[in-house]
Protein backbone atom coordinates (compact mmCIF):
# COMPACT_ATOMS: atom_id res chain seq x y z
CA UNK A 1 0.00 0.00 0.00
CA UNK A 2 1.17 3.48 -0.80
CA UNK A 3 1.67 6.15 1.77
CA UNK A 4 1.19 9.73 0.73
CA UNK A 5 2.05 13.02 2.33
CA UNK A 6 -0.89 14.27 4.35
CA UNK A 7 -1.04 17.93 5.25
CA UNK A 8 -3.60 20.64 5.71
CA UNK A 9 -4.78 22.75 2.76
CA UNK A 10 -3.71 24.70 0.76
CA UNK A 11 -1.47 22.28 -1.12
CA UNK A 12 0.23 24.82 -3.35
CA UNK A 13 2.42 27.68 -2.16
CA UNK A 14 4.00 30.76 -3.64
CA UNK A 15 7.63 30.54 -4.73
CA UNK A 16 8.49 33.71 -2.83
CA UNK A 17 10.56 33.21 0.28
CA UNK A 18 11.99 35.42 2.98
CA UNK A 19 15.46 35.13 1.44
CA UNK A 20 14.16 36.14 -2.01
CA UNK A 21 12.58 39.25 -0.49
CA UNK A 22 15.82 40.10 1.30
CA UNK A 23 17.78 39.53 -1.91
CA UNK A 24 15.50 42.05 -3.63
CA UNK A 25 16.27 44.61 -0.92
CA UNK A 26 20.00 43.97 -1.35
CA UNK A 27 19.70 44.43 -5.12
CA UNK A 28 17.77 47.66 -4.57
CA UNK A 29 20.51 49.01 -2.29
CA UNK A 30 23.38 48.34 -4.70
CA UNK A 31 23.09 51.50 -6.88
CA UNK A 32 23.40 53.84 -3.88
CA UNK A 33 26.48 51.93 -2.72
CA UNK A 34 28.12 52.14 -6.13
CA UNK A 35 27.55 55.89 -6.31
CA UNK A 36 29.07 56.24 -2.85
CA UNK A 37 32.17 54.27 -3.84
CA UNK A 38 32.51 56.45 -6.90
CA UNK A 39 32.18 59.63 -4.83
CA UNK A 40 34.16 58.71 -1.73
CA UNK A 41 36.57 56.10 -2.95
CA UNK A 42 37.02 52.45 -2.20
CA UNK A 43 37.23 53.12 1.55
CA UNK A 44 33.45 53.03 1.88
CA UNK A 45 33.41 49.59 0.27
CA UNK A 46 35.47 48.29 3.18
CA UNK A 47 33.08 49.88 5.66
CA UNK A 48 30.12 48.28 3.90
CA UNK A 49 31.77 44.86 3.74
CA UNK A 50 32.88 45.09 7.36
CA UNK A 51 29.36 46.00 8.49
CA UNK A 52 27.81 43.14 6.51
CA UNK A 53 30.35 40.54 7.62
CA UNK A 54 30.13 41.53 11.28
CA UNK A 55 26.32 41.53 11.14
CA UNK A 56 26.19 38.03 9.64
CA UNK A 57 28.87 36.78 12.01
CA UNK A 58 27.06 38.23 15.03
CA UNK A 59 23.84 36.53 13.96
CA UNK A 60 25.68 33.23 13.57
CA UNK A 61 27.42 33.45 16.92
CA UNK A 62 24.33 34.59 18.84
CA UNK A 63 22.16 31.86 17.36
CA UNK A 64 24.79 29.22 18.08
CA UNK A 65 25.13 30.54 21.63
CA UNK A 66 21.36 30.56 22.14
CA UNK A 67 21.17 27.05 20.65
CA UNK A 68 18.75 28.18 17.98
CA UNK A 69 18.70 27.22 14.31
CA UNK A 70 21.13 29.41 12.37
CA UNK A 71 19.17 31.49 9.88
CA UNK A 72 21.89 33.57 8.24
CA UNK A 73 20.84 32.13 4.87
CA UNK A 74 17.65 34.24 4.98
CA UNK A 75 19.96 37.21 4.15
CA UNK A 76 18.24 39.53 6.64
CA UNK A 77 21.52 40.10 8.50
CA UNK A 78 23.12 41.15 5.22
CA UNK A 79 20.36 43.74 4.76
CA UNK A 80 20.85 45.01 8.32
CA UNK A 81 24.61 45.29 7.80
CA UNK A 82 24.13 47.15 4.53
CA UNK A 83 21.62 49.57 6.02
CA UNK A 84 23.83 50.21 9.02
CA UNK A 85 26.82 51.02 6.79
CA UNK A 86 24.63 53.28 4.66
CA UNK A 87 23.81 55.24 7.81
CA UNK A 88 27.43 55.88 8.80
CA UNK A 89 29.70 58.72 7.64
CA UNK A 90 32.32 57.68 5.06
CA UNK A 91 35.15 58.16 7.56
CA UNK A 92 33.75 55.99 10.36
CA UNK A 93 36.51 54.04 12.19
CA UNK A 94 36.41 50.27 11.72
CA UNK A 95 35.73 49.45 15.37
CA UNK A 96 32.63 51.63 15.39
CA UNK A 97 31.28 49.82 12.37
CA UNK A 98 31.68 46.51 14.17
CA UNK A 99 30.16 47.80 17.40
CA UNK A 100 27.20 49.05 15.37
CA UNK A 101 26.67 45.68 13.72
CA UNK A 102 26.83 43.83 17.04
CA UNK A 103 24.32 46.24 18.60
CA UNK A 104 21.96 45.95 15.64
CA UNK A 105 21.96 42.16 15.42
CA UNK A 106 22.56 41.01 18.99
CA UNK A 107 20.81 43.68 21.02
CA UNK A 108 17.98 44.85 18.78
CA UNK A 109 17.21 41.76 16.70
CA UNK A 110 18.24 38.44 18.25
CA UNK A 111 17.50 39.21 21.89
CA UNK A 112 13.89 39.84 20.96
CA UNK A 113 13.50 36.63 18.95
CA UNK A 114 15.27 37.19 15.66
CA UNK A 115 13.81 38.12 12.31
CA UNK A 116 10.29 39.47 12.52
CA UNK A 117 10.48 40.15 16.24
CA UNK A 118 12.67 43.25 16.43
CA UNK A 119 10.48 46.12 17.59
CA UNK A 120 12.79 48.74 16.15
CA UNK A 121 14.73 48.94 12.92
CA UNK A 122 18.04 47.31 13.96
CA UNK A 123 20.26 49.46 11.76
CA UNK A 124 18.62 52.70 12.90
CA UNK A 125 18.67 51.74 16.55
CA UNK A 126 22.39 50.99 16.21
CA UNK A 127 22.94 54.30 14.50
CA UNK A 128 21.15 56.13 17.30
CA UNK A 129 23.30 54.41 19.91
CA UNK A 130 26.51 55.19 17.99
CA UNK A 131 25.42 58.80 17.57
CA UNK A 132 24.80 59.17 21.27
CA UNK A 133 28.07 57.43 22.19
CA UNK A 134 30.51 58.96 19.72
CA UNK A 135 28.84 62.13 18.40
CA UNK A 136 32.07 63.60 17.05
CA UNK A 137 32.80 60.59 14.84
CA UNK A 138 29.22 60.32 13.70
CA UNK A 139 29.05 63.92 12.49
CA UNK A 140 32.36 64.21 10.66
CA UNK A 141 31.23 64.79 7.10
CA UNK A 142 33.44 64.77 4.06
CA UNK A 143 32.84 66.72 0.89
CA UNK A 144 33.05 64.18 -1.94
CA UNK A 145 36.24 64.41 -3.93
CA UNK A 146 38.13 66.42 -1.34
CA UNK A 147 39.10 63.42 0.74
CA UNK A 148 39.89 65.08 4.03
CA UNK A 149 38.03 68.35 4.08
CA UNK A 150 35.35 68.15 6.68
CA UNK A 151 32.20 70.00 5.99
CA UNK A 152 28.66 70.57 7.19
CA UNK A 153 25.85 68.68 5.46
CA UNK A 154 23.53 70.75 3.29
CA UNK A 155 20.70 69.91 5.65
CA UNK A 156 22.58 71.46 8.53
CA UNK A 157 23.21 74.53 6.39
CA UNK A 158 19.57 74.73 5.37
CA UNK A 159 18.45 74.47 8.95
CA UNK A 160 20.96 77.07 10.00
CA UNK A 161 19.55 79.34 7.38
CA UNK A 162 16.02 78.71 8.59
CA UNK A 163 17.04 79.27 12.18
CA UNK A 164 18.69 82.57 11.43
CA UNK A 165 15.56 83.75 9.74
CA UNK A 166 16.72 83.94 6.18
CA UNK A 167 15.26 81.73 3.52
CA UNK A 168 17.51 79.09 2.01
CA UNK A 169 17.82 81.29 -1.00
CA UNK A 170 18.97 84.16 1.23
CA UNK A 171 22.16 85.92 0.29
CA UNK A 172 24.26 84.72 3.20
CA UNK A 173 23.92 81.02 2.62
CA UNK A 174 23.13 80.65 -1.04
CA UNK A 175 26.82 80.27 -1.75
CA UNK A 176 27.13 77.23 0.50
CA UNK A 177 24.03 75.31 -0.53
CA UNK A 178 24.74 72.88 -3.37
CA UNK A 179 22.72 72.93 -6.55
CA UNK A 180 19.69 70.66 -6.88
CA UNK A 181 21.55 68.59 -9.42
CA UNK A 182 24.40 67.91 -6.98
CA UNK A 183 21.90 67.06 -4.26
CA UNK A 184 19.93 64.74 -6.50
CA UNK A 185 22.96 62.88 -7.82
CA UNK A 186 24.66 62.72 -4.43
CA UNK A 187 27.58 65.08 -4.78
CA UNK A 188 27.11 66.34 -1.21
CA UNK A 189 28.43 65.42 2.23
CA UNK A 190 26.39 62.85 4.12
CA UNK A 191 26.32 59.22 5.22
CA UNK A 192 27.53 56.51 2.88
CA UNK A 193 24.16 55.47 1.55
CA UNK A 194 21.95 58.53 1.87
CA UNK A 195 23.50 61.05 -0.45
CA UNK A 196 22.45 59.91 -3.90
CA UNK A 197 18.70 60.40 -4.20
CA UNK A 198 18.82 59.26 -7.80
CA UNK A 199 20.37 55.89 -6.95
CA UNK A 200 18.06 55.38 -3.98
CA UNK A 201 14.95 56.17 -6.01
CA UNK A 202 16.09 53.71 -8.65
CA UNK A 203 16.29 51.02 -5.98
CA UNK A 204 12.98 52.10 -4.48
CA UNK A 205 11.30 51.79 -7.87
CA UNK A 206 12.63 48.24 -8.10
CA UNK A 207 11.20 47.37 -4.68
CA UNK A 208 7.83 48.86 -5.57
CA UNK A 209 7.73 47.00 -8.88
CA UNK A 210 8.66 43.73 -7.21
CA UNK A 211 5.95 44.25 -4.62
CA UNK A 212 8.44 44.06 -1.77
CA UNK A 213 7.23 47.38 -0.42
CA UNK A 214 4.06 49.33 -1.17
CA UNK A 215 3.56 53.06 -1.61
CA UNK A 216 1.76 53.73 1.65
CA UNK A 217 4.61 54.37 4.09
CA UNK A 218 7.17 56.05 1.79
CA UNK A 219 4.78 58.29 -0.11
CA UNK A 220 2.82 59.48 2.93
CA UNK A 221 6.14 59.94 4.73
CA UNK A 222 7.54 62.15 1.97
CA UNK A 223 4.27 64.05 1.56
CA UNK A 224 3.92 64.71 5.28
CA UNK A 225 7.54 65.89 5.52
CA UNK A 226 7.01 68.20 2.57
CA UNK A 227 3.86 69.78 3.94
CA UNK A 228 5.14 70.04 7.50
CA UNK A 229 8.45 71.57 6.37
CA UNK A 230 6.45 74.33 4.69
CA UNK A 231 4.09 74.85 7.63
CA UNK A 232 6.57 74.63 10.51
CA UNK A 233 9.63 75.85 8.67
CA UNK A 234 7.85 78.65 6.86
CA UNK A 235 9.67 77.87 3.62
CA UNK A 236 8.30 77.97 0.12
CA UNK A 237 7.24 75.16 -2.21
CA UNK A 238 10.61 74.84 -3.85
CA UNK A 239 12.73 74.98 -0.71
CA UNK A 240 10.59 72.35 1.00
CA UNK A 241 10.92 70.19 -2.12
CA UNK A 242 14.70 70.73 -2.13
CA UNK A 243 14.91 69.62 1.47
CA UNK A 244 13.18 66.31 0.69
CA UNK A 245 16.40 65.24 -1.02
CA UNK A 246 18.64 66.21 1.89
CA UNK A 247 19.71 64.00 4.74
CA UNK A 248 18.46 60.47 5.09
CA UNK A 249 14.85 61.06 4.15
CA UNK A 250 14.71 58.99 0.97
CA UNK A 251 16.82 56.19 2.41
CA UNK A 252 14.63 56.28 5.52
CA UNK A 253 11.27 56.51 3.80
CA UNK A 254 11.80 53.73 1.25
CA UNK A 255 14.25 51.39 2.96
CA UNK A 256 14.02 51.92 6.72
CA UNK A 257 10.47 52.94 7.65
CA UNK A 258 9.22 50.08 5.46
CA UNK A 259 11.04 47.49 7.58
CA UNK A 260 8.40 44.76 7.92
CA UNK A 261 9.08 43.84 11.53
CA UNK A 262 8.83 47.32 12.94
CA UNK A 263 6.04 48.83 10.84
CA UNK A 264 2.27 48.21 10.87
CA UNK A 265 0.67 45.48 8.75
CA UNK A 266 -2.73 47.13 8.27
CA UNK A 267 -3.22 49.47 5.29
CA UNK A 268 -4.46 52.34 7.47
CA UNK A 269 -1.69 51.65 9.98
CA UNK A 270 0.91 52.02 7.25
CA UNK A 271 -0.50 55.39 6.24
CA UNK A 272 -0.43 56.50 9.89
CA UNK A 273 3.17 55.28 10.14
CA UNK A 274 4.10 57.39 7.11
CA UNK A 275 2.35 60.48 8.41
CA UNK A 276 3.81 60.11 11.88
CA UNK A 277 7.33 59.74 10.54
CA UNK A 278 6.86 62.72 8.25
CA UNK A 279 5.55 65.04 10.94
CA UNK A 280 8.25 64.01 13.43
CA UNK A 281 11.01 64.36 10.84
CA UNK A 282 9.96 67.92 10.00
CA UNK A 283 9.56 68.82 13.67
CA UNK A 284 12.98 67.45 14.63
CA UNK A 285 14.66 69.02 11.63
CA UNK A 286 13.18 72.43 12.35
CA UNK A 287 12.96 72.58 16.14
CA UNK A 288 15.35 69.86 17.31
CA UNK A 289 19.00 70.01 18.30
CA UNK A 290 20.01 67.56 15.58
CA UNK A 291 19.84 68.66 12.00
CA UNK A 292 18.60 65.18 11.00
CA UNK A 293 15.23 63.83 12.14
CA UNK A 294 14.77 60.68 10.11
CA UNK A 295 16.42 58.24 12.52
CA UNK A 296 14.51 59.28 15.61
CA UNK A 297 11.17 59.76 13.92
CA UNK A 298 11.26 56.23 12.46
CA UNK A 299 12.38 54.78 15.80
CA UNK A 300 9.56 56.60 17.59
CA UNK A 301 6.99 55.30 15.13
CA UNK A 302 8.53 51.80 15.40
CA UNK A 303 7.66 51.61 19.07
CA UNK A 304 4.13 52.84 18.34
CA UNK A 305 3.60 50.08 15.75
CA UNK A 306 1.88 47.46 17.97
CA UNK A 307 -0.60 50.08 19.13
CA UNK A 308 -1.21 51.33 15.60
CA UNK A 309 -1.89 47.77 14.41
CA UNK A 310 -4.24 47.14 17.30
CA UNK A 311 -6.41 50.15 16.60
CA UNK A 312 -6.41 50.04 12.81
CA UNK A 313 -7.73 46.55 12.14
CA UNK A 314 -9.76 46.94 8.94
CA UNK A 315 -13.52 46.56 8.87
CA UNK A 316 -14.03 42.95 7.82
CA UNK A 317 -16.33 41.67 5.08
CA UNK A 318 -19.92 41.78 6.28
CA UNK A 319 -18.97 43.22 9.65
CA UNK A 320 -21.92 43.54 11.96
CA UNK A 321 -21.68 46.17 14.69
CA UNK A 322 -21.15 44.42 18.00
CA UNK A 323 -24.10 46.18 19.65
CA UNK A 324 -26.58 45.07 16.99
Partner 1 sequence: MLNKRSSFTGGIHPPYSKGLTKAKQIELCKVPELVTIPLQQNIGAPCQSLVKKGDKILLGQKIGQPRGYVSAPVHSSVSGSVKSIETADLPTGVRFPCVIIENDGSDTLDPSIKPGKLEDFSREELINIIMESGIVGMGGAAFPTHVKLSPPSDKTIDTVILNGSECEPYLTSDYRLMIEKPDDIIYGLKVIMKILDVSKAFIGIEDDKPDAIYAIEAASKDESGINVVKLHTKYPQGAEKQMIQVILGRQVPSGGLPMDVGTEVNNVGTAAAIAETVKTGKPLYQRIVTVSGGAVREPKNLMVRIGTSFKDVIDCCGGWIEEPVKVIAGGPMMGCAQHTLIVPVMKGTSGILLFTEKEAYEREPSNCIRCARCVEVCPIRLAPLYISAHSLKGNMEEAEKLNAMDCIECGSCSYICPASRPLLPSIMVAKKAIIADRKRQAEADQHRQNKR
CB of 283 to partner 1, least distance (A): 27
Contact set with partner 1 (CB under 8 A): 1-14, 16-18, 20-21, 71, 74, 76, 113-117, 260-261, 263, 265-267, 270, 309, 313-320
Nearer to partner 1 by C-beta: 122 or 291?
122
Q: What string of DSSP letters covers 233-262?
A: H---HHHHHHHHTSTTHHHIIIIITT-STT
CB of 248 to partner 1, least distance (A): 23
Nearer to partner 1 by C-beta: 20 or 137?
20
Helix (H, G, I), strand (E, B), or coil: what is residue 311? helix
CA 219 to chain centre: 14
Burial status of residue 11 (CB atoms within 10 A of its CB: 0-12, 13-18, 19 or more): exposed
CB of 199 to partner 1, least distance (A): 25
Nearer to partner 1 by C-beta: 59 or 239?
59
CB of 171 to partner 1, least distance (A): 49
Nearer to partner 1 by C-beta: 205 or 265?
265
- Indicate the pairing of strand 150-151 with strand 141-142: antiparallel
The per-residue b/e assignment along 238-272, b for 16 or more CB within 10 angstroms, e otherwise, is: ebbebbbbbbbbbbbbbbbbbbebbbbebebbbbb
Nearer to partner 1 by C-beta: 3 or 42?
3
CB of 314 to partner 1, least distance (A): 5
Amino acid sequence: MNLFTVSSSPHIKTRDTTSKIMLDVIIALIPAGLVSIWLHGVGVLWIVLLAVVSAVLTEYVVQKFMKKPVTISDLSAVVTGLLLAYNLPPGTPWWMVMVGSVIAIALVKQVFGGIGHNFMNPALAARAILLASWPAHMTRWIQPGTDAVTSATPLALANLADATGSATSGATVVMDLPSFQDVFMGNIPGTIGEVSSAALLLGAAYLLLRGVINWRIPITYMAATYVCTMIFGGVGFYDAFYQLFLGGLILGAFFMATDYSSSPVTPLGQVIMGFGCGILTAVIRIYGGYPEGVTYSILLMNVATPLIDKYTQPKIYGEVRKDD
